[in-house]
Structure 1
Amino acid sequence: MPATVHTIRCLTDNYAYLVQASGQTVLIDAPEAAPILAGLDRIGGRLDAILLTHHHDDHIQAVPRIVAATGAQVWGNGADAHRLPPLDRALSAGTDVAACGETVAVLDVPGHTVGHVAFHFPASGLVFTADSLMALGCGRLFEGTAAQMWDSLSRLAALPDDTLVCSGHDYCRGNGAFALSVDPGNAALRARLDAVTAGQRPCSPATLAEEKATNPFLRARDLARPDEDPLAAFARLRAGKDGFRG
């Protein structure tokens, strides 16, 4: 059976995710303990592991409290272990790990940080992308380069279109405003934003097909100027978002 995903709103605009299948529960990122522990109480079951995508505080700061309350193991990128909470299992980007009854791919997605990973549950059609591919956007390039992020996004975009993209933040208002500023004729984008604004659907998750139709960073080829290759268009768009005040 495919895994069940429970979206947990944390802090002001973070998402964490509880994933359940085959008698196992794992948590993707740990921004805030109270809502995560409350969510765990609602769905029942023991928390087996916390899977960390990257080292930023708003994704790891609740690890100690959650571990103390649940005894869960902590899994993360071994190459970035010096910036993560103590790891019970050091993962290697580009390899697989067993979780929730399926083989989960640990994807190397640098750009936002150089040690960022995503977790792809192919049997369940899920990918947890945190601050790499985001709802209607992508993470700011704090450590990596535009080329690294474009490569990361391109590899994520190659996953099956029906993959459900579970990203790390609800930045729909800002991301959506920027997307409209560079892609004003995109009817799919307007329809998605209208549905989110009306409360008919959340910002995240969304299918990869929907992100590819509405996310300007995945549409860099379509939004490129005549003299730009896709990487140059992506770099221009990412720089434009950094300075956007709409």
Structure 2
Amino acid sequence: MLTISPLAAFEDNYIWCLCQPANPFCVVVDPGDAKPVLAFLQRKQKSLYAILITHHHPDHTGGLAELQQAWPDVRIIGPAAEKAKIPLLTEQVQQGDMVELTPFNTQFQVIDLPGHTHGHIGFYSEPYLFCGDTLFSAGCGRLFEGTPAQLHNSLQKLTALPADTEVYCTHEYTLANLRFALTVEPDNQLLADYQQHCQQLRQQNKPTLPTNLATEQQINPFLRCENNSLQQRYQQDSAVGLFSQLRAMKDQFKS
């Protein structure tokens, strides 16, 4: 079992830290800023063993140089397709590769998730999923480099994972996403209930993450594009068509 801690960075990023009580090592995911990671490691008296990177955006990679300077032997593992944009990678991985984290007796499966960026990847080890900016609670990533069909296909890959999969995405966008989701499906009572739950968490300054796939399939409009009544409501005859329309609507939505 892993203990997974969120470190807040910038306005709404989370850097995930993976630890075990008796293990002297730590793994971090998408450290856009080194400072909260260094403070966490010092506080917990841990050594940095590896860094997992989902994609090249600076708010996910900006802390790499400083962390590598502090821990010269750290493994920096990220997408092979984005190696030119993440020059500090020490290991490049892609769909089907396994990342062995030997001190944790854990291995992560690499999943290609193009859409938000061309080379975006996720890391999965049951029940944990680190999916960067592909899937958010009640939302999904913007299409900066890929196509709607690519991102829809990437989300379909994730929904094929077990329903109890814990989704560790990297932004606290949940409340804004829920406001949009309720305009898409105003009669979804599960969605309204989930919004109330998440509002209570944020009022207590607690993260809304991780979420899980079972919840997301009930409340996330971007995972509900196969729903026939939703397709009819938005006059679409395919899941990809509806997904493309919803993504465009979300881009224009003022929450």
TM-score, with normalisation over the residues of structure 2? 0.90
- The question of whether the paired residues in 2 share the 8 Å contact of 1:135 and 1:169 is answered with no
Equivalence for 1:111: 115
Q: Which shows bigger deviation, 210-219 or 147-156? A: 210-219
- The question of whether the paired residues in 1 share the 8 Å contact of 2:65 and 2:88 is answered with no
The separation in 1 between residues aligned to 2:87 and 2:194, in whole angstroms, is 37
Matched, 1:204 2:209: yes
Matched to 1:191, the amino acid is: D
For residues 157-214 of structure 1, the C-alpha deviation after alignment (integer angstroms, 9 at most, x for no partner) is 1100111000010112321111011011122222222122122652211111111111
Selected match of 1:214 from 209, 214, 219 = 219
Matched, 1:132 2:137: no
1:233, CA displacement in angstroms? 0.8
Q: Which shows bigger deviation, 83-92 or 8-17? A: 83-92
- The question of whether the paired residues in 2 share the 8 Å contact of 1:104 and 1:119 is answered with yes
- The question of whether the paired residues in 1 share the 8 Å contact of 2:53 and 2:60 is answered with yes
Selected match of 2:76 from 60, 68, 74 = 74
Selected match of 2:248 from 225, 239, 242 = 239
- The question of whether the paired residues in 1 share the 8 Å contact of 2:54 and 2:121 is answered with yes
1:227, CA displacement in angstroms? 4.0
Unaligned stretches of 5+ residues in structure 2:
none
Matched, 1:46 2:47: yes
SS in 2 for 1:35: helix
The separation in 1 between residues aligned to 2:100 and 2:92, in whole angstroms, is 13
For residues 64-97 of structure 1, the C-alpha deviation after alignment (integer angstroms, 9 at most, x for no partner) is 1122223322111122100014211122232211
The separation in 1 between residues aligned to 2:44 and 2:239, in whole angstroms, is 43
The separation in 1 between residues aligned to 2:160 and 2:172, in whole angstroms, is 23
> Identity of paired residues, percent?
37
Q: Which shows bigger deviation, 38-47 or 52-61? A: 38-47
Matched to 1:206, the amino acid is: T
Matched to 2:105, the amino acid is: G
* Aligned residue pairs, count: 243
1:42, CA displacement in angstroms? 3.1
Cα RMSD over matched residues? 1.6
Matches within 5 A, 1:1-246: 2-21=1-20, 23=23, 24-71=25-72, 72-99=74-101, 100-122=104-126, 125-199=127-201, 202-222=207-227, 223-225=230-232, 227-246=236-255
1:149, CA displacement in angstroms? 0.4
The separation in 1 between residues aligned to 2:97 and 2:165, in whole angstroms, is 19
For residues 2-60 of structure 1, the C-alpha deviation after alignment (integer angstroms, 9 at most, x for no partner) is 22211111110001101124834211111112222222233332110111000001100
Q: Which shows bigger deviation, 10-19 or 24-33? A: 24-33
The separation in 2 between residues aligned to 1:134 and 1:203, in whole angstroms, is 10
- The question of whether the paired residues in 2 share the 8 Å contact of 1:77 and 1:93 is answered with no
For residues 200-244 of structure 1, the C-alpha deviation after alignment (integer angstroms, 9 at most, x for no partner) is 652211111111111110111222225421111111111110111
Unaligned stretches of 5+ residues in structure 1:
none
SS in 2 for 1:210: helix
Matched to 1:6, the amino acid is: S
TM-score, with normalisation over the residues of structure 1? 0.93
